[in-house]
Amino acid sequence: MNPSSVLNGARWRKSTRSQAETQNCVELARVGGVIGVRDSKDPDGPHLAFSLKDVRAFIGGVRAADQPDA
């Protein structure tokens, strides 16, 4: 199965920190173990699909990089 096809009909969300006057945001959707990412300016356009495991690893890496050097 194509992971992107799992996202058809998904409920897409964007951060509550997104400003209403700008549309420069990404939206995320989760269906099972697949996380979709798309451009909020082009909701019918292409999107990316990642495994939940890969997204968790990415977030962990970002958090680790955000820590000041000891």
Using alpha carbons only, give the angle 16, 59, 26 rounded to the nearest 5 degrees: 40
In this prediction the pTM is 0.74
- List the domain boundaries for the chain: 3-65
Q: Which residues of 28-37 are buried (b: 16+ CB within 10 A; e: fewer)?
A: bbeeeebbbe
How many percent of the chain have pLDDT more than 90? Answer: 49
Residue 6 half-sphere exposure toward CB, CA atoms < 13 A: 16
Model confidence at 22, in pLDDT bands (50, 70, 90)?
A: low
Q: What is the pLDDT of residue 17?
A: 77
User: Roughly how many angstroms between the first and final C-alpha of the chain, as a whole number?
Assistant: 45
Query: pLDDT tens for residues 27-66?
Result: 999 999 999 999 988 988 899 999 999 999 999 999 998 7
Query: pLDDT tens for residues 60-70?
Result: 999 998 777 75
